[in-house]
Structure 1
């Protein structure tokens, strides 16, 4: 039997349309189909409404992503960070990675300075505060945050892109094909590692590298113990 109002599938939705139900529908699409399939038209179809009806609640895709960022940030329990400033800085840097890693639409977040969730700013505050307590000036702390941010973003983007690329490949990668043609005389180091390169680089070394970066940023600076409140 067709719905009385003639709109296909509208009978499936018994709850009123709201930003909360829109976010829930968007998350379903992200989980089942991936970020490339999340569009306003696809979202409207998921909700069994017209795109015009959707625009009454969400202005555009940009606002939709803001709502999704906020939904992932709100309600997250804040972990207790270590008292030692160096350990706290490292823990905050790890949290930055973990927070960003939860967004399947990471590329768009990084491309737009407007996609910022205030509820997640405490991670940035914790990192800056720990860096200052480790002996950095506020200006140096900002630079340290930027260095850690760039490293973290690079790791996540490369990881995400690589996984997507390998999932679609039905042949050896271009790198594997090139490595197979190299002369050991011209490239002794590369060819010695070529057969193990994929296994070596597949290992998640993020934490180890993060520890090295933090150590390099701080050097031999003495922490200002007891300033943390």
Structure 2
């Protein structure tokens, strides 16, 4: 009989997760999926929290990171779009990210790429950190709203003629795919950040000076 390994556990966990969702995933069900006793699984994975981190890491490996090159804006856009495409395929991820339960070494690849691209091209650590947080919050928020099927601009019949601009623009939003909406918002976010990219007197890669107490 083939010995049980972490890769076997991760593969079975992903199958179970995609079939039954996060609520249907348990260490006992995972053991059943593997045809093993629960004790055998616990030798490799301590609990469900660690298991979820391993599963998120496995999905994160599928995110493609481009060459950062000399154009950090384009590189960050491409990396974030790749992350969005990959994570959108796994509906359980957005909810788990909201709960702050997905932590793992591989999942930090995207963060490292974004922060490094920004700092190497002129942002201070603080500027890069702020933009990184904004990108992640936008990514997670978009995954959640897309999962709920809410494009964010849907006038109700009771609105009457009170909101003519909303009524005119709403069909344009409705006609965009999830990827198109994500890309448009991401570019707008980065354009705003790039407009304030370089602050006189700052050195790339160094923290901003703190105000005296």
Residue 57 of structure 2 corresponds to residue 70 of structure 1: yes
Partner of 1:108: 96
Residue 4 of structure 2 corresponds to residue 29 of structure 1: no
Structure showing greater radius of gyration is: 1
Alignment of 1:1-229 (within 5 A): 14-74=1-61, 78-98=65-85, 100-101=87-88, 103-106=90-93, 107-112=95-100, 115-162=102-149, 179-184=156-161, 186-190=162-166, 196=171, 199-200=174-175, 204-219=180-195, 221=197
CA spacing shift, 1:37–1:162, aligned 2, 3 Å: farther
Q: Which runs of 5+ in 1 are unaligned?
A: 1-13, 164-174
- How large is the RMSD of aligned CA atoms in angstroms? 3.3
CA distance in 1, matches of 2:133, 2:23: 28
CA distance in 1, matches of 2:43, 2:113: 38
CA spacing shift, 1:188–1:149, aligned 2, 3 Å: same
Contact 1:26 1:43 (C-alpha < 8 Å) held by counterparts? yes
- Secondary structure at 1:205 match in 2: helix
CA distance in 2, matches of 1:221, 1:59: 44
Contact 2:72 2:118 (C-alpha < 8 Å) held by counterparts? yes
CA distance in 2, matches of 1:146, 1:76: 18
CA distance in 2, matches of 1:198, 1:215: 20
CA distance in 1, matches of 2:139, 2:19: 26
CA distance in 2, matches of 1:197, 1:218: 26
TM-score normalized by the length of structure 2: 0.72
TM-score normalized by the length of structure 1: 0.68
Deviation at 1:206, TM superposition (A): 1.0
Deviation at 1:78, TM superposition (A): 4.5
- Secondary structure at 1:145 match in 2: helix
Contact 2:65 2:110 (C-alpha < 8 Å) held by counterparts? no
CA distance in 2, matches of 1:220, 1:76: 28
CA distance in 1, matches of 2:3, 2:99: 33
